[in-house]
Amino acid sequence: MPTRRRSQPSQRRPRRALVTGGAGFIGSHVVDRLVEAGHRVTVLDNFSTGRRALVHPRARIERYDLRRRGLSAVVAKARPEVVVHLAAQASVPRSVAAPLEDADVNVLGTLRLLDAAARAGTRAFVYISTGGAAYGDTEVIPTPEDHPLRPSSPYGVSKVSGERYVECMGALSGMRAMTLRLANVYGPRQDPSGEAGVISIFAKHLLAGEPCTVYGDGEQTRDFVYVGDVADAVVLAIDEPTAVGAVNVSTGNEVSINTIYDLLAAAVGTTARSSHAAPRPGEQRRSVLSPTRARQVLGWVPKTTLETGLGVTVEYFRRGTRTR
């Protein structure tokens, strides 16, 4: 299939965009890209993990939880032509400990938003899903989009369920529906105090001279994609009028957690070694996604090398700031 020439977002017609979770790590970068591309952006966030300081000053903010009644009125007020849905319960360990809460946010919250968007006349819905947790342990590395989905955690199950609702409700309402299955995203603004985001957690501890814990033997592998590249993919998904279905947003490169630790330790300038603990339940051994379809459908390729991205991330945390 021929590669589509990379779109130029700034040349597209400005749209009214609603971004859920737009005050969070990935969401705030997406909002930045959308505002810079000329779109009129409303951020919908309950600020359970997001921060107002991360939101672009030209974006409008609605503090709201997807589980509250009255969501349709809030969405209708924004009159979004496109919805980018990032708000989620995104921790695998938390989903194992509290699967009902996980489903309430990720399944019912998504369905409520889809219903509200359809009622508001939204034309396109871009759903931000997970790659590794959706595919589970696979026989094909890098894993393509047509591989069977075998989630091994409640989080993975809830995100896959959300994908199915997006596909179904999109077809019923006439919304163009697209799912972006993200690899392991890292970069500035990621919360190092959470349970997810091994790079930000390691960077924070290493800079503070604190010990780092690797769960399992550290030879489990992941596909790490820089947050700025992910934000570019979202803008392209909005601007490409024929893009539908599921697309991996990934590098296709397999990197072990031990390697990530060594690279970060070198970037920080320490020879401290990590300690190890028992593997966490629900996490797969290998997770690497094929980026081929993203190049074909969106004209998207990751631009940031792992070494460059890690360097930028370390410098961000070295400055001790979590603002824009």
The residues annotated with a catalytic role in the active site are 155
Q: Is the pLDDT of residue 5 over 70?
A: no
Q: Angle at CA 293, nearest 5°, toward 289 and 299? A: 120
Taking Cα atoms as reference points, which of 214, 215, 185, 211 lies closest to residue 200?
185
Q: Is the pLDDT of residue 266 over 50?
A: yes
**CATH fold of the domain at 15-186+224-252+289-303:** Rossmann fold (3.40.50)
Beta carbons of 128 and 260 less than 8 angstroms apart: no
Give residue 324's pLDDT band: very low, low, confident or very high (50, 70, 90). Answer: low
Residue 171 makes CB contacts below 8 A (sequence gap 6+) with 177
CA gap 22, 59 in Å, rounded = 9
Grouping H, G, I as helix, E, B as strand and the rest as coil, residue 150 is coil
For residue range 89-111, list pLDDT tens digits in order.
Answer: 998 889 999 999 999 999 999 99
Q: Is the pLDDT of residue 283 over 90?
A: no
For residue range 154-167, list pLDDT tens digits in order.
Answer: 999 999 999 999 99
DSSP 231-250: HHHHHHHHH-TT--EEEEES
Domain extent listing, the chain: 15-186+224-252+289-303
CA gap 233, 247 in Å, rounded = 10
Q: What is the largest CA-CA distance in the chain?
A: 57
In eight-state DSSP terms, residue 13 is: P
pLDDT at 186: 97
CA gap 234, 20 in Å, rounded = 13
pTM for this predicted structure:
0.92
Mean pLDDT over each residue of the chain, to the nearest integer: 93
In eight-state DSSP terms, residue 268 is: H
Of all residues in the chain, what percent are helix, strand and coil, respectively (each to 5)? 40, 20, 40
DSSP 53-110: GGS-TTSEEEE--TTSTTHHHHHHHH--SEEEE------HHHHHH-HHHHHIIIIIHH
Beta carbons of 133 and 155 less than 8 angstroms apart: yes
Strand 124-130, strand 82-85: pairing: parallel
pLDDT at 93: 87
